[in-house]
Structure 1
Amino acid sequence: MAAQETSVNTVSPHAPWSYVLQLPHDRRAPRVARMTLRAVLAGHGMAELVDTAELLACELVTNAYRHSEGLAALRMRAMEGNRLRVGVWDTNPEIPAPFDRPPGALAPLRAPAPDASTVDGGRGLLLVQSCADNWGGYRLGDDLFGWRGKLLWFELASRPEMVRAA
């Protein structure tokens, strides 16, 4: 009997991937989200996106903690064209401006009021709007698995040529 060759499937570094991290309603959730995001992006060769993705995800997770009382979730996934999409789900169904606009509808950048402090808020979503390549949000109604609330997301494009130039 002749030996039969078998092929072993390996994971391509560019294969689609997705991770979901459930976060308790805990003040440490933004830090856990940042650390996880950093590890995932480094592991998938998207290290050039770490600083921006970490900042924006932290803002969305912080808003989830501040404006909802239940669990939250952070989802990270690779998309076509070397893009990263990060979404943060929470139990509060209210979508804050400018995320309340339909996808593709651009909202003018609004600076927070001069008397707005970082403690009171008003700056985090401006950062997302300013730094992300794309962003949006939508409500989640009652579904079969009990997901309700909202999902805010942003996308960043990986630009390896910029890393090589630096």
Structure 2
Amino acid sequence: MPETEPHAIGAPWEYWLHIPNDLRAVTISRRTLRLILTMHGLIRLVDIAELLATELVSNAVRHTKGPAALRVTWRDGVLRVGAWDADPEPPEPPCPLDQLTDLDLEGGRGLALVRSCADLWGWQPLTRNGDHGKYVWCDLVAA
């Protein structure tokens, strides 16, 4: 298995994993992401990318009723991890981690973690083939 980044530096690539609205899909997404990054020689980004993907996919599955998807892209030294879901409503704005009052709560930390750990993050509404939804993404720069 590659342990450096020679393949990652080359041509851009993109993967989509379409998932059902099922919490088990979060684990499948995380493991799939680990495999993708390992095979592309981006091992040093695996742990943080897994954390961010887990938060994004978990939000997509927990807070919507339809299908979802994990999207992973590499272009110009930037790894973008994102989750699409069928709900067009914007995500709740994240607060800084130091402003979370109860860190023992099960929810409410996801986008705060994304905001704190990613180099850049955002969301955009999507319309495709008459379907509406949104795409929430974050970037990790491979420095």
Q: TM-score, normalised by structure 2?
A: 0.87
Taking a change above 3 Å as real, the CA distance of residues 78 and 24 of structure 1, as seen in their structure-2 partners, is: same
Partner residue in 1 for 2:62: 66
Partner residue in 1 for 2:123: 137
Larger radius of gyration: 1
Identical aligned pairs, as a percentage? 49
- Is the CA contact (8 Å cut-off) linking 2:71 and 2:83 kept in structure 1? yes
Q: CA RMSD in A?
A: 1.9
Which of the pair is proportionally richer in strand? 2
- In structure 1, list runs of 5 or more residues that go unmatched: 1-11, 100-107, 160-166
Partner residue in 2 for 1:109: 96
**In the alignment, is residue 86 of structure 1 matched against residue 81 of structure 2?**
yes
Q: Please give the residue correspondences for 1:1-166 in structure 2 after superposition, counting only pairs within 5 Å.
A: 13=7, 14-80=10-76, 82-98=77-93, 109=96, 111=98, 113-115=100-102, 117-119=104-106, 121-141=107-127, 143=128, 145-159=129-143
- Is the CA contact (8 Å cut-off) linking 2:97 and 2:113 kept in structure 1? no
Distance 1:112 1:68 in 2: 26
- Is the CA contact (8 Å cut-off) linking 1:23 and 1:71 kept in structure 2? yes
CA positional deviation for 1:117:
4.1
CA positional deviation for 1:112:
5.2
Runs (4+) of structure 1 exceeding 2 A deviation are 108-113, 115-118
Aligned pairs, number? 136
